[in-house]
Amino acid sequence: GKWKNKERVLIFSSRGISFRTRHLMQDLRTLMPHSKADTKMDRKDQLFVINEVCEMKNCNKCIFFEAKKKQDLYMWLSNTPQGPSAKFLVQNVHTLAELKMTGNCLRGSRPLLSFDPIFDQEPHYALLKELFIQIFSTPQYHPKSQPFVDHVFTFTITDERIWFRNYQIIEEDASLVEIGPRFVLNLIKIFQGSFGGPTLYENPHYQSPNMHRRLLRLSVAAKFREKQQVKEVQKIKKKGTKVLVEEDPTEVVFETPAEEKPVEIQLVKPESKPIVKDKKKLRKIQRKKQKKLFRTEG
């Protein structure tokens, strides 16, 4: 057949990404034969520069990984240069080498795309579905692709996030075995243009990583403050006056009075005990004196 769908995807990242992100980027390049690579972009450059890079590489789609604070990873999916584009927070990244799963698909084979039914119910999810189809589906009769379909890309929505999984189709019984990689996309915004422009949709359930870390610190501080308050209350209770319990008249029923002993008054001064000197001590003193005499005579 003739190669008609000329979709090309540029997959690259900014500087400062972690090793896990680098492996994930390499896994996506191996799974998508219609992708292209480029050098890392400087963090000082503006994002709209990516449109020029895509034009130079003859690509009309882009997956850009942006790292911030050496711990937060963001993914941009864009249709260059007209738009639209979507920004995601990437969470729970697991790469091919890390999972060590049993599945193994043919390199360069075309995938099936499986979507959750919720993608057809909401308008912003419908837009993302079309973007995923155009980016992740390998064009038919692509020179680098194989004429086989042996794995499935699944996009499911749970907990207001998009979960990406990759499964191999086993020929014997058509069962699925997970290959990897796997990651979770938390949608932030959808823009009308490529890497910018008017905001079409903003996720109300999104919480930034900085805010999440701040809330964790506040919860730990609140627990510590609560412990300190409990300790102060216990100290106040200990210092406070004890509550007097009224006497119970029935407590004295079984008490038997003890016999009173006569008081003896001693009028005569008690005799002092004789002081007994230590005989051994006297002998030791005598021996020391004799030794001194022998030394002086010598």
Does a structural domain hold residue 111? yes
**What's the pLDDT at 171?**
75
Q: Any idea what the CATH number is for the domain that residue 48 is in?
A: 3.40.50.10480
User: Into how many domains does the chain fold?
Assistant: 1
**What's the pLDDT at 242?**
66
| 125-182 pLDDT, tens digit each | 999 999 999 999 988 888 888 888 888 999 999 999 999 999 988 877 778 888 888 9
CB 29 within 8 A of CB 9: no
Residues 6+ positions from 179 with CB-CB distance below 8 Å: 96, 101, 103, 104, 105, 151, 166, 167, 168
Does a structural domain hold residue 151? yes
Q: How confident is the model at residue 278 (pLDDT cuts 50, 70, 90)?
A: low
Does a structural domain hold residue 107? yes
| 233-251 pLDDT, tens digit each | 988 888 876 667 778 878 7
Does a structural domain hold residue 297? no
**What's the pLDDT at 97?**
82
pLDDT mean across residues, the chain: 87
Print the domain residue range for 116: 9-211
Q: Decide: residue 149, CB within 10 A, 0-12 exposed, 13-18 middle, 19+ buried.
A: middle
From residue 198, give the alpha-carbon distance in Å to each of 26, 140, 161, 189, 192: 32, 34, 23, 10, 5
Does a structural domain hold residue 59? yes
Q: Percent of the chain scored above 70 by pLDDT? A: 96
Does a structural domain hold residue 97? yes
Does a structural domain hold residue 227? no
**pTM for the complete prediction?**
0.73
Provide mean pLDDT across the span 50-58.
90
Does a structural domain hold residue 243? no
Provide mean pLDDT across the span 77-97.
90
| 118-138 pLDDT, tens digit each | 999 999 999 999 999 999 998
